[in-house]
A and B are shown apart, each in its own frame.
Chain A
Amino acid sequence: MGHIVIRNLNKHFSERRGARRTGNGAGGLAGETISVLDDVNLEFENGEMVCILGPSGCGKTTLLRIIAGFDEQFEGQVNVDGQPVDGPCADHIFLFQSSGLLPWMTVRQNVGLGLRQMQDQAKHDETLREYIEIVELEGFEDHYPHQLSGGMQRRAELARALAVNPELLIMDEPFSGLDFFTHMKMREEVVNMHDYIGKTMLMVTHDIDDALIMGDRIVVMSGRPSTIKLARKLDFPRPRDFEHNEELSRLRAEVFLMLGVPYAV
Chain B
Amino acid sequence: MRNNRFKLKYVLPVISFTLLVLIWELLARYAGWSAHVFPAPEQVATGMLELIADGSLFKHAVASLYRVTMGFYLAFLIGVPTGIVLGRWQFARTLLNPVVQFLRPISPLAWIPLAMLWFGIGDPPAIFLIFLASFFPLAVSTMIAVTAINPTYFQVAANFNFSAWERIKLIVVPAIVPAVVTAMRITITIAWLVVVAAEMIAVQSGLGYLILDSRNALRMDYVMDGMIAIGAIGLLLDVIMKRLGRFESTEWASG
Q: Which residues from chain A sit less than 8 Å from chain B, CB to CB?
A: 68, 70, 87-90, 92-94, 96, 98, 100, 102-105, 113-114, 116, 144-146, 164
Chain B stretch 138-165: residues in CB contact (< 8 A) with chain A: 152-153, 155-156, 158-161
CB-based contact A102/B255 at 8 Å: no
B251 interface neighbour in A92, A100, A113, A146, Cβ under 8 Å: A146
Residue numbers in B under 8 Å from A88 (CB-CB): 155, 158-159
Question: B17 at interface (Cβ–Cβ under 8 A)?
Answer: no
Name the 8 nearest CB pairs between A and B, nearest first.
Answer: A103-B252, A104-B174, A88-B158, A146-B252, A104-B249, A88-B159, A113-B160, A100-B156
Interface of B is mostly: helix
Interface of A is mostly: loop
B160 interface neighbour in A70, A98, A104, A114, Cβ under 8 Å: A114
Question: B175 at interface (Cβ–Cβ under 8 A)?
Answer: yes
Give how many A-B residue pairs fall within 8 Å (CB-CB).
55
Known: A70-B158, A88-B158, A104-B174. A96 touches B152 (CB 8 A): yes
Please report the C-alpha to C-alpha distance between residue A105 and residue B175 in the assembled complex, in whole angstroms: 10
CB-based contact B153/A94 at 8 Å: no
Q: Closest Cβ of chain B: how far from A92's Cβ, in Å?
A: 8
A102 interface neighbour in B171, B250, B253, Cβ under 8 Å: B171
CB-based contact A102/B158 at 8 Å: no
Known: A102-B170, A104-B174. A70 touches B155 (CB 8 A): yes
CB-based contact A94/B252 at 8 Å: no
Question: B54 at interface (Cβ–Cβ under 8 A)?
Answer: no
Please report the C-alpha to C-alpha distance between residue A105 and residue B177 in the assembled complex, in whole angstroms: 13
Interface size on B (CB < 8 Å)?
A: 21
Q: Which residues from chain B sit less than 8 Å from chain A, CB to CB?
A: 152-153, 155-156, 158-161, 166, 170-171, 174-175, 177, 248-253, 255
Residue numbers in B under 8 Å from A90 (CB-CB): 159-161
Please report the C-alpha to C-alpha distance between residue A116 and residue B174 in the assembled complex, in whole angstroms: 18
B249 to A, closest residue via Cβ: A104
CB-based contact A144/B252 at 8 Å: yes
CB-based contact A89/B156 at 8 Å: no
Please report the C-alpha to C-alpha distance between residue A68 and residue B159 in the assembled complex, in whole angstroms: 9
Please indicate which of the listed interface residues A68, A88, A98 has the most CB atoms of chain B within 10 Å of its own CB. Answer: A88
Known: A68-B159, A88-B159. A98 touches B152 (CB 8 A): yes
Please report the C-alpha to C-alpha distance between residue A257 and residue B170 in the assembled complex, in whole angstroms: 47
CB-based contact A100/B252 at 8 Å: no
CB-based contact A144/B248 at 8 Å: yes
